[in-house]
Structure 1
Amino acid sequence: MFQIEALDHIGLIVQNVQYSVEWYSSVLGMHPCQACSLSGEKQQSIRVTSGSASIVLFPPSARNKVMPFYGHIAMRLLRTDFERAKEHLQSKRVPFNIVSYPSYDSIYLKDPDGYQIELSTAK
């Protein structure tokens, strides 16, 4: 058997790649770092990163549709960054909910396409 070293990226199909890049940059502090075109595709996909977390934003196509009900993306933060995230989201007027679990707290919000984003921190 083999062992996976790390999760490389998450791919999301979004309605408007540039708008989503701007949202992930301004709301989650992620930075665009790479653009590429898939074979036969007219629009580019763009990778946004923060630390070792990476999301590739793909434009919709005849084969690929926006499907936000598939689950959620969870990112782990240190407690100090969790508190900063709450303040930042409030300052940007981004709606979110906080849920407290026995061993961690989570902030839940949605991106422009309805994908659920979870920001969690250990207690």
Structure 2
Amino acid sequence: MISIDRVDHLVLTVADVDTAVEFYRDVLGMEPVEFPGDRRAVRFGEQTIKLHAASELVEPTATHPVPGSANLCFITSQALADVQEHLRNNEVRIEEGPVGRTGSQGPITSLYLRDPDGNLIEIARYDEE
């Protein structure tokens, strides 16, 4: 048996890396980073989302890498009312929420939106006990 400690990074296949970086930086507050070989990503906390253009995939890759096929949940400590206001100010449509869900550590309240590629993005806050 092996033991997995945490997620280090995820890879999103995107139509346009510049557009994706702008969204994750400006809307979700992530830090843009660059890697050797002109590879780009965004970072938050100890995690990174690497952004691969659909037209220039990096091997090895997923079996069917296409923009818009991911469903990601991010946890915030901010009040969801403040998150909603920020999304409205950035003209980002909220698909659903706030709505109760279950996170990996217990009950959460979530907002759902989409990134420029159509990936479903859930921004959630753990419910107060």
Q: Is TM > 0.5 for Structure 1 vs Structure 2?
A: yes
Q: 2:121 aligns with which of 103, 117, 120?
A: 117
Between Structure 1 and Structure 2, the one with more helix by share is 1
1:67-95 deviation digits (Å, cap 9, x = unpaired): 423x40111112x3533221110111100
The alpha-carbon deviation at position 51 of structure 1 amounts to: 1.6
Runs (5+) with no aligned partner, structure 1: 38-43
Further displaced range: 80-89 or 103-112: 80-89
Alignment check: 8 A CA contact 2:21 2:42 kept: yes
After superposition, the CA RMSD in angstroms is 2.0
Question: 1:88 and 1:95 mapped to 2: Cα distance?
Answer: 11
- Pairing 1:47–2:44 present: no
Change (3 A) 1:19 1:61: same
C-alpha deviations, 1:13-46, integer Å up to 9, x for none?
1111111111111110111122333xxxxxx331
Aligned length: 115
- For structure 2, the 5+ residue unaligned runs are 102-106
Corresponding position of 1:89: 87
Match for 1:60 among 38, 54, 61?
Answer: 54
1:61 Cα offset (Å): 3.3
TM-score normalised by length of structure 1 = 0.81
After TM superposition, the score normalised by the length of structure 2 is 0.77
Identity of aligned residues (%): 30
Deviation at 1:47, TM superposition (A): 1.5
